[in-house]
Amino acid sequence: MGSDVAMSPKITVELLRQLRQAMRNTKYIAEPIQAYIVPSGDAHQSEYIAPCDCRREFICGFNGSAGTAIVTEKHAAMWTDGRYFLQASQQMDNNWTLMKMGLKETLSQEDWLISVLPDNSTVGVDPWIIAADQWKNMSKALASAGHSLVAVQDNLIDAIWRDRPTRPSTQLLTLGLGFTGLTWQDKMTALRSKMAERKISWFVATALDEIAWLFNLRGSDIEYNPVFFAYAIVGMNTIRLFVDIKRLAVPTVREHLQLDTPSKAELSVQTAPYESVFTELQAVCASLGPKEKVWISDKASCALTQVIPKAHRSPIPYTHLCLAKAVKNATEIQGMKMAHIKDAVALCELFAWLEKEIPKGTVTEISAADKAEELRSQQKDFVGLSFPSISSVGPNGAIIHYRPLPETNRTLSLNEIYLLDSGAQYIDGTTDVTRTMHFGSPSAYEKETFTYVLKGHIAVSAAIFPNGTKGHLLDSFARQALWESGLDYLHGTGHGVGCFLNVHEGPCGISYKTFADEPLEAGMIVSDEPGYYEDGLFGIRIENVVLVVPAKPKYNYRNKGSLTFEPLTLVPIQAKMVNTDLLTQKERDWVNEYHRQCRETIGAELERQGRKEAMDWLIRETQPIA
Amino acid sequence: MGSDVAMSPKITVELLRQLRQAMRNTKYIAEPIQAYIVPSGDAHQSEYIAPCDCRREFICGFNGSAGTAIVTEKHAAMWTDGRYFLQASQQMDNNWTLMKMGLKETLSQEDWLISVLPDNSTVGVDPWIIAADQWKNMSKALASAGHSLVAVQDNLIDAIWRDRPTRPSTQLLTLGLGFTGLTWQDKMTALRSKMAERKISWFVATALDEIAWLFNLRGSDIEYNPVFFAYAIVGMNTIRLFVDIKRLAVPTVREHLQLDTPSKAELSVQTAPYESVFTELQAVCASLGPKEKVWISDKASCALTQVIPKAHRSPIPYTHLCLAKAVKNATEIQGMKMAHIKDAVALCELFAWLEKEIPKGTVTEISAADKAEELRSQQKDFVGLSFPSISSVGPNGAIIHYRPLPETNRTLSLNEIYLLDSGAQYIDGTTDVTRTMHFGSPSAYEKETFTYVLKGHIAVSAAIFPNGTKGHLLDSFARQALWESGLDYLHGTGHGVGCFLNVHEGPCGISYKTFADEPLEAGMIVSDEPGYYEDGLFGIRIENVVLVVPAKPKYNYRNKGSLTFEPLTLVPIQAKMVNTDLLTQKERDWVNEYHRQCRETIGAELERQGRKEAMDWLIRETQPIA
């Protein structure tokens, strides 16, 4: 995501010719390289990236949020996951081979390189846009087959990219205690106490959302993500913030960071240009004592990681900030709840409007998404969308991260399923919700599969599990009903959600992939979004954002305590799509209780805002099911 | 397991004094070491070990199957998992600290060493009994804190262990095609084709069960495990078997291995003494071409792994043999089914006998276990038990790997729950079954928790899941009902089961731990054994051995195909312990269908064997539940 989804393939013959020329050009590299890797991230390993960083899209045409392109002298291949198989196959021309990750027969990038490269090949990559852990794995695998991975300092895509956009530098927004619950000074102190506990002298922050969270600042450098390009280096008595210096001219920002106020030395922020982080980190490392350690995420760029001598490097799978940010405090939870109420108001209005307008045949995927944005923008403290709305009708719904474009735009009708996955940034919180609706009469098969997805959604949402349980242990609950009928979906079940921050955040999630996730704990916020997709026919997904809360089951084994989820999203789930015969009584009770909460909480706000039609729709859609 | 379970602590003051002396003795080491690690395995990283290898038990007293002891100048600590917390705390004196793995507050071995060691310490370990991957992790962690891990060639426990038993060398048993389905020559050819596929020149087999499986040979060097001490090195034209040469004097063995028959060079077995593997592997490695690779499991000993120069080493998380052995062929499946039928006959007899004898007050944990063994031994091709029977009454049932001893022996009564986890080796297969029974009137709480465990057992056994699913994704199904009531159990749900081989085998299992497990596939055999344990009161476990089989659900998403389980164990589950109100209709149907199969299959065999009382018991215990 992050830019438009074109559904016709990009013609890449000439670009590939130029790139292969650059791969042999001694202007950029001492020796020719036989392969060049183009990862999808930026220097901060962001998932969503600014236009100037969309290098993988530039070279192959595919613009989903995840994917890696590799070009050799003879081949060009692009790896992406199940969400994007259809989209990628439509966006790339036949110079490219689509490598479908997660399928048994698909080679990994390493194995593919080994299978196609001549003996003793050299593979190049820009060390700023490959994470240290990926570099390590790739380098090791290539070495084991007699090849080598080299850092190419000049980015070869930039070298052939005319009119590459410049790096954004938007205005910074300061957040007060009423939104954050903690001052940036409090967060700094907590960070340092974790550093002291682990005997760490320095911490290098490279993830944009962690820096924004730490300093209680927001920007809009990357569409949908309220972050700004920056690095930070924190010592026990030093705070260095690397950011385009022009941005610090604003009085509110200067005051927020206390740049002009004498403050305690250890809470005084030294600012420096964004680009100077490399040399400043070199200087920090040059002055390290023999036992001093520097914390850096193993997801940080290879370039920055390798500045730190190995003996001083303490790589961590996720930073203290990442975990502290994931566990929301009471203020943040309150903000997230408010944001979700406003968001539900907008969606109730939207669905009431759709019900009325669709029969006229004038509503399209694009106009529905625009209407959703318009209605959200009427809500207090609305900032923008949290990701491009996935507004999809019928077969487009099967493209998991679809975004409507004029050439793909379908009209909403009484005959096809409509899937809307959308969300917004409000100053008090971030939302992400998917509802799948039919405005006519769904088929028995559509209802059956929708009901399996609903059963999976409920199984996760209502799950009670011991403290200390990792999210991946809940993933199968979401699939059980689908599996029983021989069905499945090729994406994870949930991701962490930031508070007026990135809609996808670590370190927790609910996925069959057992990434380094930390145990779920009360205060964490994740999505619960199982789905089912029939290529060429329809897509179904039911997504709520849910808060991890303590549960009080009958017993308390070894005093470990239990957890469960509380839905923050309060938008009715279309009863018309449910085959109630397939639900257990417990599941029916869950639906009715959920709809009671929607009616109570969102109803009160609709009333307050005087939105009568939406109120009528809400009342109708929250009738108990039998 | 592997030797007796003493329930009074071993006094270790003097032994620890001697070990600490050895840690400073230049007879064994150039420089004094500050800590010595005593892992629980042997040179083959076997789970069950021969008496001569029970070094960790010797030093600390704890004799469970899993645990690592570490002795420093001032401290002694022992790590084990939830199955053994109670047992370990009873077997170790207060010189030892029990480190409860899996609890949040428990330090890892590395972190504990770092927290207690003086600066720049040296930690020693016998490189033969630590796996290469464990060495690597430990070495890295210690180095990061300024310490170092060194290989101590003389085992320091052996140095202080008077009367250490000698290494066993039992008679070898040859298995024909009727039991194995494949000749050892077939298996060798399949191994070599995998080696060729991956461009591997040599394979070093170190796991005893893999060597036994490969050569279609069995031994009895380790109690309960029909294996023999050996190594094998296989090249594309060479087969070297390292084994006590005396064992090869037997004509049947010589003929089986074709030692005296001229055969194709590449299928001719060269034999060499067990101890010569080190020097022979050195010789193989000395002659390697520049690109040649040697396969060795990363679970192989550090000593043997390091013989292979790093550039030639191709470490693998599990070997081809491990995976090939896990997927049983039709002959093996048929054998396992037969073994389970015979085993069920013995158990039906046992339970009928117990029902009659318990009211007399003369049956104890030990005599019940002995009776079970006696009844099993009456069955055809019985070889021995597959592990020490866990025969436990009331509170002893909460000791997950309990084994009755004269001083702990409780009498079976009408008032307490009886848990029997037992199994046998037959020449056609290996069994492992747990039943939990009450011979009087169980309490409502006992029935409630039993029913949750049963629901978990059924959830796994009846699960339908896509091809390619890893076992760990099914673990939560077994816990869902317990979790909902705030309960849990601190062990995995299932392990691979060998065919007349080890009762625990890799690479697949069903566990919350996400070890390097391969996807489940049709033909694999695992256990399904959720439980619930109340310390000081009772233990509940319901265990069947189940076969992975293709499932045919309604749909077939992306032609991936589905799998499910077929129970091989066919022993009634006590209906008296079930609170049927807590079961869904589907679960009741599962129980009734399972009991129908028990009655049909085991009934026929009981009839054939003329075991009337057991038949009556079976009929009673398999009445449908309402």
Query: Per residue in B349-370, pLDDT tens?
Result: 999 999 999 999 999 999 999 9
Beta-carbon separation of B104 and A475 below 8 A: no
Q: Give the pLDDT mean for A6-14.
A: 87
Of B465, B476, B484, the CB nearest to A473: B476
Chain B residue numbers with beta carbons less than 8 Å from the beta carbon of A562 are 483, 486
Quick one: which of B549, B599, B605 has its CA closest to B570?
A: B599
Query: What is the reported pLDDT for A82?
Result: 86
pLDDT at B1: 31
Residues of A in Cβ contact (< 8 Å) with B476: 465, 473-474, 476-477
Nearest CA in chain A to B514: A514
Give the Cα separation of B6 and B64 in Å (integer): 10
Mutate to test the interface with A, among B100, B295, B488 (most CBs of A within 10 A): B488
- Strand, coil or helix: what is A486? coil
Rounded average pLDDT over B26-45? 95
Residue B421 has pLDDT above 50, yes or no: yes
CA distance B476 to chain A (A): 6
Q: What is the pLDDT of residue A291?
A: 85
Q: Report chain A's mean pLDDT, rounded to a whole number.
A: 95
Minimal CA–CA distance to B58: which of B203, B175, B156? Answer: B156
Q: Is residue A554 within 8 angstroms of chain B, CB to CB?
A: yes
Residue A68 has pLDDT above 90, yes or no: yes
Mean pLDDT of B500-520: 88
Give the pLDDT confidence of A407-435 residue by residue, as tens digits. Answer: 899 999 999 999 999 999 999 999 999 99
Residue B93's Cβ-count burial label (10 Å; 0-12, 13-18, 19+) is middle
SS3 B503: coil
Nearest to B599 by CA among B585, B620, B626: B620
pLDDT at A4 over 50: no
Find, in chain B, the residue whose alpha carbon is nearest to that of A314. B144
Yes or no, beta carbons of A553 and B480 under 8 Å apart: no
**Phi, psi (degrees; rounded to nearest 5) at B531:** -150, 175
Band of pLDDT at residue A36, cut at 50, 70 and 90: very high
Query: How many CB pairs below 8 A link A and B?
Result: 82
Q: Which residues of A touch B144 (CB under 8 A)?
A: 314
Contacts of A554 in chain B (CB under 8 A): 485-486
Burial bucket for residue A193 (CB in 10 Å: 0-12, 13-18, 19+): exposed
Selected residues 511-530 of chain A with any CB under 8 Å from a CB in chain B: 512, 514
Name the residue of chain A whose CA is nearest to B103's CA. Answer: A468
Tell me: the pLDDT tens digits for A84-133? 898 899 999 999 999 999 888 999 999 999 999 999 999 999 999 999 99
CA distance readout (Å), B481 to A472, A554, B454, B507, B514: 18, 12, 9, 27, 21
Contact A121, A42 (CB under 8 A): no
B301 burial via Cβ count (<10 Å: 0-12, 13-18, 19+): buried
Q: Angle at the Cα of B388 (from B387 to B394), degrees rounded to 5?
A: 125
- B101: contact with A, CB 8 A cutoff: no
Q: Which two tokens stand for residue A273?
A: 């240009």
Reported confidence tier of residue A515, pLDDT bands at 50, 70, 90: low
How far, in Å, are A132, A171, A303, B42 from residue A207 at the CA level? 13, 19, 14, 46
| Chain A interface includes B138 (CB < 8 A) | no
Best CA proximity match to B512, nearest among A28, A116, A552, A470:
A470
Q: What is the pLDDT of residue A3?
A: 38
Three-state DSSP class for residue A254: helix
pLDDT of residue B190: 97
C-beta separation of B122 from B109 below 8 A? no
CA B251 to chain CA mean position, Å: 32
Inform me whether the pLDDT recorded for B513 exceeds 90.
Answer: no
Contacts of B484 in chain A (CB under 8 A): 464, 553
Tokens of B234: 């296989």
A65 confidence band (pLDDT: 50, 70, 90): confident
| Tens digits of residue pLDDT in B86-129 | 889 999 999 999 999 988 899 999 999 999 999 999 999 999 99
Q: Which of A291, A314, A483 sits opposite B465 (nearest CB)?
A: A483
Q: Which of A101, A119, A488 to mutate to test the interface with B (most CBs of B within 10 A)?
A: A488
B148 interfacial to chain A (CB closer than 8 Å): no
Closest chain A residue to B586, measured at CA: A584
pTM (2 d.p.) = 0.91
Q: Cβ of B466 and A475 within 8 Å?
A: no
Q: What is the pLDDT of residue A516?
A: 59
| Partner residue opposite A557 with nearest CB, options B476, B487, B556 | B487
Does the pLDDT at position B397 exceed 70? yes
| Locus of tokens 């399996």 | A452
Whether the CB-CB separation of A478 and A493 falls below 8 Å is answered with yes
CB atoms within 10 A of CB A94: 9
Chosen from B555, B565, B585 to mutate, greatest number of chain A CBs within 10 A: B555
| CB < 8 Å from B in window 466-485 of A | 466, 468, 472-477, 479-480, 482-485
Reported as a pLDDT band with limits 50, 70 and 90, residue B261 is confident
pLDDT at B516: 59
**Distances from the Cα of A580 to the Cαs of A456, A479, A530, A596, B32, in angstroms?**
14, 18, 18, 18, 72
Cβ B577 vs Cβ B448: under 8 Å = no
Q: Give tens-digit pLDDT for A177-207.
A: 999 999 999 999 999 999 999 899 999 999 9
Q: How many helices (H) and strands (E) does chain A have?
A: 20, 28
Q: Choose between A451 and A319: higher pLDDT.
A: A451
What's the pLDDT at B2?
A: 31
Instruction: Looking at the complex, report in whole angstroms how far the Cα of residue A431 sits from the nearest Cα belonging to chain B.
Output: 29
- State the complex-level ipTM: 0.90
Structure confidence at residue B125 (pLDDT):
98
* Residues found in chain A: 626
Q: What CA–CA distance (Å, rounded) separates A276 from A244?
A: 10
Burial class (CB in 10 A: 0-12, 13-18, 19+), B396: buried
Q: What single-letter DSSP state applies at residue B125?
A: E
CA B200 to chain centre: 29
DSSP per-residue codes, A291-314: T--EEEETTSBHHHHTTS-GGGEE
**Chain B partners of A483 at a C-beta cutoff of 8 Å?**
463-466, 553, 562
- Cβ contacts (< 8 Å) between B466 and chain A: which residues? 483, 486, 488
Asked if the Cβ–Cβ distance from B464 to A474 is below 8 Å, we say no
pLDDT tens for each residue of B145-191: 899 999 999 999 999 999 999 999 999 999 999 999 999 999 999 99
* Chain B contact for A178 (CB, 8 A cutoff): no
Q: Determine whether the interchain pair B144/A314 forms a contact, defined as Cβ–Cβ distance below 8 Å.
A: yes
Which DSSP symbol is given to B599? I
Whether B485 and A554 lie within 8 Å, measured CB to CB: yes
Q: In 3-state terms, chain B is what percent helix, strand and coil (to 5)?
A: 40, 20, 40
The tokens describing A20, both together, are 């292969």
Mean pLDDT, chain B, rounded, equals 95
Q: Cβ B463–A486 below 8 Å, yes or no?
A: no
Chain B residues with CB-CB distance to A146 below 8 A: 291
Within 8 A of B556 by CB-CB distance, chain A residues are 486
Phi-psi region of A216 (alpha: psi -120 to 50; beta: other; left: phi over 0): left
Q: Are B378 and B221 in contact (CB under 8 A)?
A: no
Identify which of A104, A465, A485 has the shortest CB distance to residue B554: A485
Work out the average pLDDT over B249-268.
93
**H helices of A25-124, where?**
55-60, 85-91, 109-116
Lookup: tokens for B288: 């390697």
Tell me the C-alpha distance between A5 and A17, whole Å: 24
* Torsion from C-alpha of A257, A259, A263, A268, nearest 10 degrees: 70
> Residue B493's closest CA among B515, B471, B467, B464?
B471
The answer, for A27 touching chain B at a CB cutoff of 8 Å, is: no
Give the residue from chain A lying closest to B476, CA to CA: A473
Percent of chain B with pLDDT over 70: 98
Taking residue B251's Cβ as centre, other Cβ atoms within 10 Å add up to 9
Among B413, B416, B407, smallest CA distance to B363 is for B413
pLDDT in tens, B13-23: 999 999 999 99
Interface of A with B in 568-587 (CB under 8 A): 584
> Cα distance from A564 to chain B (closest Cα, Å)?
10
Cβ of B278 under 8 Å from any chain A Cβ? no
pLDDT at A1: 31
Please compute the mean of the pLDDT values over residues B30-41 and round it to a whole number: 95
Rounded CA Rg of chain B: 25
Looking at residue A6, what is its pLDDT? Answer: 54
H-helix or E-strand containing B32?
none
Longest CA–CA separation in chain B, Å: 74
